[in-house]
Amino acid sequence: MNIVVHGLTKAFRENTALENINLEVPPGTVFGLVGPNGAGKTTLIKIIMGLLLPTRGFVSIGGRSAHQDPGVKSKIGYLADYQRYYPGFKVNDMFRLYRESYETWSPERFQELCRVFDLPENAKVKNLSKGMRTQLAIILNLAFRPALLVLDEPTAGLDPVLRRQFLTILMDEVAENGTTVFISTHNLHELERICDRLAVIHQGRLLFNESLEDLKHKVRKIQAAFENPLPPDILQKTGVLNVEQQGRVYSITVQDGIDELTAELRTFKPLFLDFVDISLEEIFIHRMGGEGYELKKILAQ
């Protein structure tokens, strides 16, 4: 199930939360959305879910609108940033409610998830910790085999073991059922592990939207050592995002033009020259730094 967002703008009185957002999420992919608190991520998610109406533009899911077509919602699993279930219900009551509400509810999948997340079935929702509410939401939303999963900080409150288990379950869901995943999170390490494509939103605007493969191809790091210091103009070329030097060793982060720079560096007869894997976090530090934003402004405080 795909998502198409076209010309999307959302204004709350004098405050424009989203401005002219355009993006597309192909079926069966994992799409990551990153941005600081207040950037507009949750507003975008609520419009996708049909919980808010856009001021301009539109969102379609599988060619239909979640707001206008209730049948679309029956195919979407939604993990909000905070789980607001009926506080007086017991965990078992929530299981029964979802089982009766979704025709695609899978008893087998439900049992598999219950073995992973060992929730006290007789506990009331209001007495569950944040992490336990997240576990409950995971079980409820995966047990009916959704075609689309919309996740807003889905691992918040989970310990590292459960967080890893959830990400493994999520990737299995995509691989086995072709589930589309739209995930908003501040955890770049998690996104690097699971995402096909990433977008950054800041102050209601989409800064960039690229595949993870393209990001890693465009931004790379060269590590090299030289007998003599390099001329300063070499390190100030267009495309050089960052240079770190320790003695004779240089670490040079480059966006595009890496082949040309490498060829020029070789003319200085390096003692060694190699390419170093660069993390998604480093890419964001240097990419966003180059556009006037620090990483701490892109990620949550």
pLDDT digits (tens, 9 = 90+) for 146-168: 999 999 988 888 888 999 999 99
Q: Specify if 270 maps to a domain.
A: yes
Could you tell me the two tokens for 151?
Answer: 């996740």
Residues 25 and 142 in one domain: yes
Q: So what's the pLDDT on residue 250?
A: 95
What is the value of pTM for the model shown?
0.84
Whether the pLDDT of residue 39 is over 70: the answer is yes
Q: Judge contact between 2 and 61, C-beta under 8 A.
A: yes
pLDDT digits (tens, 9 = 90+) for 191-209: 888 999 999 998 899 988 9
Strands (DSSP E) contained in the chain are 3-12, 15-25, 30-34, 56-61, 76-79, 148-152, 180-184, 197-202, 205-211, 219-225, 240-246, 249-255, 272-276
Whether the pLDDT of residue 273 is over 70: the answer is yes
pLDDT digits (tens, 9 = 90+) for 68-93: 787 888 999 999 887 788 889 999 99
Q: So what's the pLDDT on residue 290?
A: 47
Whether the pLDDT of residue 32 is over 60: the answer is yes
Query: What's the chain's average pLDDT?
Result: 88
Torsion 263-264-269-270 (CA) sign: negative
Whether the pLDDT of residue 241 is over 90: the answer is no
Residues 66 and 173 in one domain: yes
Q: So what's the pLDDT on residue 235?
A: 84
State how far the Cα of 185 lies from the Cα of 256, in Å rounded to an integer: 27
Least confident of 80-84, 117-121, 219-223: 80-84
Q: Which domain holds residue 100?
A: 3-203
Q: Specify if 208 maps to a domain.
A: no
Whole-number percent of the chain with pLDDT over 70: 95
Residues 51 and 95 in one domain: yes
Q: So what's the pLDDT on residue 287?
A: 65
Q: What is the CATH number of the domain that holds 226?
A: 3.30.70
Q: Which residues contact 100 (CB under 8 A, 6 or more apart)?
A: none
Q: What is the dihedral of CA 19, 23, 29, 33, to 10 degrees?
A: -20
Structural domain count, the chain: 2
Of 168, 183, 203, the residue that ends a domain is 203
Residues 193 and 57 in one domain: yes
Q: Specify if 209 maps to a domain.
A: no
Torsion 184-189-191-194 (CA) sign: negative
Q: What is the CATH number of the domain that holds 120?
A: 3.40.50.300
Strands (DSSP E) contained in 62-216 are 76-79, 148-152, 180-184, 197-202, 205-211
State how far the Cα of 167 lies from the Cα of 117, in Å rounded to an integer: 13
State how far the Cα of 285 lies from the Cα of 70, in Å rounded to an integer: 41
